[in-house]
Amino acid sequence: MQLVLNRPLDMHVHLRQEEMLQNVTPFTAQQFAGAVCMPNTLPPVDSVERYDAYVAKIKAAAAPYEFDPYVPLFFHEGLTREELAPARERLFGVKLYPAGVTTNSEAGVAEMSKIEPVLDVLQDLDLPLLVHGETNGYSHDREREFMSVYDHFARTFPKLRITMEHITTVEAAEFLEKHDNVFATATLHHLLYTMDDMLGGPFNPFLFCKPIIKSPKDREAIQSLVIQGHPKLMFGSDSAPHTEVMKRTEGAAGCFTSPVLLPGLAQFFEDHDILDQLQSFVSDRALEIYGVNPPERSVVLERKEWTVPPRYGSVVPVNAGETMRWAVVDPEVESA
Ligand code: DOR
Ligand code: ZN
């Protein structure tokens, strides 16, 4: 049995830089025709010049796959109309990180009340705002506490498209109904797991990420959006590789899911008897919401078991050692 996906997209992934970029990009480029590649590199992708350089590097790392990287600029108060307007046609959007809430976000926004002039420019240029919506509060409540910020932005800038990235809570799921200009992405790991999978038994550092995996009730809210086929919810994996050493010794936050994404999604959709909706979740809605035009590629999945390796180089994937029911059929590998 095969499943064909047309132009699948991962609307939130971390491809990193240098050696890690070379190692992880093929997993994304194999399975997706395009992806939103996050700008929280060191230094961040915070100018048009750095944007052009990063897009070129990703494309080179993705070859021979035809793959479109959509890189949102790292939000900072110094972004100006003069810099953004001439590049508008090739830019994708801007990604806002509150300062210090996650990996490489130190250069993010410390004071939300100061950024409205930049939001005004984004609204004018019709550049979408992607947001890591968490406060610096208690881990489990950070996303809930951020809802008032989303609300303020959505009301003040009604024409600005705002995406709540990697939503994890009942409150975020409900918030999608509140404003026409608010959208969201959801990850595979927040769809599948709860806090207990990470620390209910022996601690599994490979499920530690920001926002933290939450309660069964929260997971159910995200699952129910996916199952009902919510038109404002897109797939965004938030696959965020760190070396095994960083995960085990430094407590680095991020789940490396790239190698298992389409197989894991097919499994979830099959389990809920909604395989026919997978195309919409991994592509159609993002095409509509963002108006992107990725390469005309189909990706084929086959119902065939395979075992996820314990590690890929220095990185341990989510589901390491587990058996997956669906596999990606890769024409590049088949013809090699
Ligand atoms: O767990 C996470 N890891 N969440 C993020 O928002 C960033 C990411 C990373 O870059 O490692
Ligand atoms: Zn992320």
Q: Where are the domains of the chain?
A: 2-334
> What atom in ligand 1 is closest to the CA of residue 14?
10
Contacts (Cβ under 8 Å, ≥6 apart) of 14: 37, 38, 40, 103, 238, 239, 240, 241, 254
> What atom in ligand 1 is closest to the CA of residue 252?
11
- Ligand 2 mean position, distance from CA 253 (Å): 10
Q: What torsion, rounded to 10 degrees, do the Cα atoms 321, 37, 285, 267 define?
A: 0
Q: Is 127 helix (H, G, I), strand (E, B) or coil?
A: coil
pLDDT at 330: 86
pLDDT at 335: 56
Question: 336 pLDDT exceeds 60?
Answer: no
Spatial distance between the Cα atoms of 91 and 80, rounded to a whole number of angstroms: 14
pLDDT digits (tens, 9 = 90+) for 112-129: 999 999 999 999 999 999
Pairing of strands 298-307, 2-6: antiparallel
pLDDT digits (tens, 9 = 90+) for 120-159: 999 999 999 999 999 999 999 999 999 999 999 999 999 9
Spatial distance between the Cα atoms of 323 and 305, rounded to a whole number of angstroms: 6
Q: Provide mean pLDDT across the span 65-85.
A: 98
For the chain, the average pLDDT equals 97
Catalytic residue among 238, 273, 276, 284: 238
Kindly give the interhelix angle for 18-31 and 48-62, rounded to the nearest 10 degrees: 60
Q: Is the CB of 127 under 6 A from ligand 1?
A: no
pLDDT at 332: 72
Q: Is the CB of 209 under 6 A from ligand 1?
A: yes
Domain 2-334 has CATH 3.20.20.140: yes
Number of residues that make up the chain: 336
What's the pLDDT band for 334 if we cut at 50, 70, 90?
Answer: low
Q: Provide mean pLDDT across the span 14-18.
A: 98
What's the pLDDT band for 201 if we cut at 50, 70, 90?
Answer: very high
Q: How far is CA 27 from CA 8, 17, 178, 250, 328, in A?
A: 13, 15, 36, 25, 10
Active site residue 68: no
Spatial distance between the Cα atoms of 187 and 202, rounded to a whole number of angstroms: 23
Q: What is the DSSP annotation of 267-317?
A: HHHHHTT-GGGHHIIIIIHHHHHH-------EEEEEEEEEE--S-BTTBPP
What's the pLDDT band for 331 if we cut at 50, 70, 90?
Answer: confident
Joined tokens for residue 335: 């013809």
Question: 320 pLDDT exceeds 90?
Answer: yes
pLDDT at 138: 97
**Pocket perturbation via mutation, ligand 1, pick of 40, 130, 242 by most ligand atoms within 8 A of CB:** 40
